[in-house]
A and B are shown apart, each in its own frame.
Chain A
Amino acid sequence: MRGATTRRQGAARLVETDAELWGRGDRAAFAELFDRHAEAVWNHAYRLTASWSLAEDLTSATFLAAWRRRSEVALVRDSALPWLYTVAGNLARTEFRRLGRLRRALARVPEPDVVPDHADRVASSVDDSDELRRVLAVVRTMPPAEREAVELCLLGELSAAEAAQVLGVAEVTVRSRISRARARLRATLDEEVS
């Protein structure tokens, strides 16, 4: 299970699966899910926004939204991560964009109400974020179906099978979308370089 990669190390004990925790639906279970996946969602949120400050906001909002909708969602392959990535992607496209924050951040205009994050100051690689912004600029021009697949599989590094289940389409469809998206990305980015 992917969640294990981000789980805090602890004493050996019987570990409940994401689905079991999700099914419990109580605060303690949700806290455990937060601990398991906060790091993965935070990294994914960065790849969606190219800003560590926005990634922090987006991650918080993602877990809040996930909590509210926990009774309505069936987990994919026992991991909450695909669902959390989907929520993060939707939030990045809707609420954050509506508020203009994402757009301003991508334009690198200083954000008056966002306190620069420590991680931004000491660890951010300008090259990384510039490259990421170029990629995101292309992703935003893609058809919605391709964009979702890119966000889940290329940015989120989910498998095509996991993305297919959360998107409710065939795995081959996801692979096809990814293939088209890669071609689109390669063509656009190569064109920029040339």
Chain B
Amino acid sequence: MSFPELPPRRALPPDVRERMRRRVFGRPARGSATDRAGGRGAGGPLAVAAAVAVLVGGLVVARTADQDGSGALPTPSTAATRGFAGPDDAQVVATTSEDLSRCGLSAALFTVRFDGRRVLADRSDRYCELTYATTSTSTSAISVPVGDLRVTWRSPSGVLVGKVPPNLAGLVTRSSRGALPSALTDYGYFVTLSSSPTTVFELTHREQPVQVHTLDPATVPDAARTVDFHPSGVADPAANVLDRCLDVGMLSSARPVSDVVPWTLGAVVGADTTAGLAVLRGPAGTTAYCRLDLYRAKQVDGPMGGVGSPADAYQVRALVSRNSGPPLGFVLLVGGTLRDDVHRLELVDASGPRPVEVRDRTFAGVLTELSSTDVSAVGARLTAYARDGTVLQTGPVS
């Protein structure tokens, strides 16, 4: 007999399958596997009820992707499904009461979703940007001309919002690396990610040459007030390290984190200083490394190298040196993963033991007040110990 004894598996009732399908795909199955397998509807799960910018005969129009026309968002059942996960483009999505409430708006003309953020606008040209852990609202009216366009807001994360002339047939925005996510919405607005130092706008009018204009987003006045949002409902900074790291990670163009799940917090060191490091544990052994400044996430990166192999007791996957200014001076942040049998890790340099935290098979350590940012000159060593005190591995940090 197996141990523990577990309840037998059940056949999935059709109504339960259909409810889950609606949540995942956003609309009922049309009754046949052919329909599902045929891939009708250009979007993927969660793209339903979103609107996408579709180029039709040179004209960019906003069209809802919900072919049923219900206009309803799939009901999110947890914060995990709240929709900060990244579409690779800009999507006009249905405005939710939760977003309106966070923004302090009673109604919105549109909501546009980008990687890690949503932007709302109302009829009074008030704008709002929601990220996983912040809420930003516009504080004053601005108007920066870009050809026939007018930029009316720049969000803290770099989203530009503005108005287009009635005769505009198409708009493409570009950085030096390629097209930027953008959308034209109802009521004559454009919303686009910007790129510094130059964002290129290509405006198409009917039967006219394409007009090309450039804008340095930094020239758009900063007119936003940002407040923290606590997804956990707890305002304690120490309790929000993971959420703030995920927030920054989702906003990063490098996309070290593309969703709030299934990431968990690993080892954290120096969170209450200007030189902290948090290790995030993701799916299938992946990790990300979040630099902290007084509990605030400043930058999130994926593994920045792979010193060692999975068979090693520890692997250094992040090694960051920088000048953090007084009082910590030059610092070296070191983070990585641990083998399961590592009970304790020691980080030492010429001045003695340094803070290193171990949690959930990850570690994070910090060396401060160094004479330089040259890692090889620091002379730090890591030593991994088993529970009985046996040294499992030791070596230089480089």
Q: Interface on A for B, CB 8 Å cutoff?
A: 8, 10, 26-28, 30-32, 34-35, 38-40, 42-43, 46-47, 56-57, 59-61, 63-65, 67-69, 72-74, 83, 86-87, 90-91, 93-96, 98-99, 101, 117-119, 123, 125, 128-129, 131-132, 135, 144-145, 154-155, 166-169, 173, 177, 182, 185-186, 189
State which of A39, A56, A68 has its C-beta within 8 Å of the C-beta of B19. Answer: A56
Given A31-B25, A60-B20, A90-B261, check contact A168 B284 (CB 8 Å). Answer: yes
Contacts A129-B7, A131-B7 aside, 13 further interface pairs with beta carbons under 8 A come to: A27-B25, A30-B45, A31-B37, A61-B261, A64-B24, A65-B261, A67-B45, A87-B262, A90-B261, A94-B261, A95-B80, A132-B6, A169-B340
Residues of B within 8 A of A10 (CB): 33
Residue pairs across A and B with Cβ atoms less than 8 A apart, 15 shown, are A30-B44, A31-B37, A34-B24, A39-B17, A59-B20, A64-B80, A68-B85, A93-B264, A94-B261, A96-B78, A123-B10, A132-B6, A144-B361, A167-B284, A186-B3
The 9 closest A-B pairs by CB, nearest first: A90-B262, A28-B39, A128-B7, A168-B285, A39-B12, A60-B23, A31-B36, A68-B85, A43-B9
Cβ of B79 and Cβ of A98 under 8 Å apart? Answer: yes
Cβ of A42 and Cβ of B12 under 8 Å apart? Answer: yes
Which residue of A is nearest B242, CB measured?
A94
Residues of B within 8 A of A57 (CB): 77-78
How many angstroms between the C-alpha atoms of A64 and B19 in the bound complex? Answer: 14
Chain B residues 6 to 47 lying within 8 A of chain A, measured CB to CB, are 6-7, 9-13, 15-17, 19-21, 23-25, 33, 36-39, 41, 43-46
Q: Interface on B for A, CB 8 Å cutoff?
A: 3-7, 9-13, 15-17, 19-21, 23-25, 33, 36-39, 41, 43-46, 77-81, 85-86, 232, 258-264, 283-286, 310, 340, 360-361
Closest CB in chain B relative to A3 CB, distance in Å = 14
Given A86-B262, A185-B3, check contact A39 B11 (CB 8 Å). Answer: yes
Closest CB in chain B relative to A21 CB, distance in Å = 10
Residues of B within 8 A of A74 (CB): 284
Closest CB in chain A relative to B308 CB, distance in Å = 14
How many angstroms between the C-alpha atoms of A123 and B261 in the bound complex? Answer: 31
State which of A28, A60, A72, A189 has its C-beta within 8 Å of the C-beta of B258. Answer: A72
Residues of B within 8 A of A91 (CB): 78, 80, 261-262
Cβ of B284 and Cβ of A166 under 8 Å apart? Answer: yes
Cβ of A32 and Cβ of B37 under 8 Å apart? Answer: yes
How many angstroms between the C-alpha atoms of A87 and B19 in the bound complex? Answer: 20
Cβ of B284 and Cβ of A34 under 8 Å apart? Answer: no
Cβ of B45 and Cβ of A63 under 8 Å apart? Answer: yes
Which residue of A is nearest B20, CB measured?
A60
Cβ of A145 and Cβ of B361 under 8 Å apart? Answer: yes
Closest CB in chain A relative to B98 CB, distance in Å = 14
Residues of A within 8 A of B81 (CB): 60-61, 64
Interface-centre pick from B20, B33, B41 (highest chain A CB count, 10 A)? B20
How many angstroms between the C-alpha atoms of A120 and B281 in the bound complex? Answer: 34
Cβ of A69 and Cβ of B45 under 8 Å apart? Answer: no
Closest CB in chain B relative to A125 CB, distance in Å = 7
Residues of A within 8 A of B260 (CB): 95
How many angstroms between the C-alpha atoms of A25 and B17 in the bound complex? Answer: 21
Cβ of A47 and Cβ of B6 under 8 Å apart? Answer: yes
Which residue of B is nearest A25, CB measured?
B44
Given A56-B20, A68-B85, A93-B264, check contact A61 B78 (CB 8 Å). Answer: yes
Cβ of A63 and Cβ of B262 under 8 Å apart? Answer: no
Cβ of A46 and Cβ of B23 under 8 Å apart? Answer: no
Interface-centre pick from B77, B232, B286 (highest chain A CB count, 10 A)? B77
Cβ of B264 and Cβ of A64 under 8 Å apart? Answer: no
Closest CB in chain B relative to A81 CB, distance in Å = 13
Residues of B within 8 A of A155 (CB): 6
Residues of B within 8 A of A61 (CB): 77-78, 80-81, 261
How many angstroms between the C-alpha atoms of A118 and B17 in the bound complex? Answer: 12
Which residue of B is nearest A145, CB measured?
B340
How many angstroms between the C-alpha atoms of A117 and B346 in the bound complex? Answer: 51
Closest CB in chain B relative to A109 CB, distance in Å = 18
How many angstroms between the C-alpha atoms of A28 and B19 in the bound complex? Answer: 18
How many angstroms between the C-alpha atoms of A87 and B86 in the bound complex? Answer: 18
How many angstroms between the C-alpha atoms of A57 and B12 in the bound complex? Answer: 14
Cβ of A135 and Cβ of B6 under 8 Å apart? Answer: yes
Closest CB in chain A relative to B135 CB, distance in Å = 19
Residues of B within 8 A of A168 (CB): 284-285, 310
Cβ of A144 and Cβ of B360 under 8 Å apart? Answer: yes
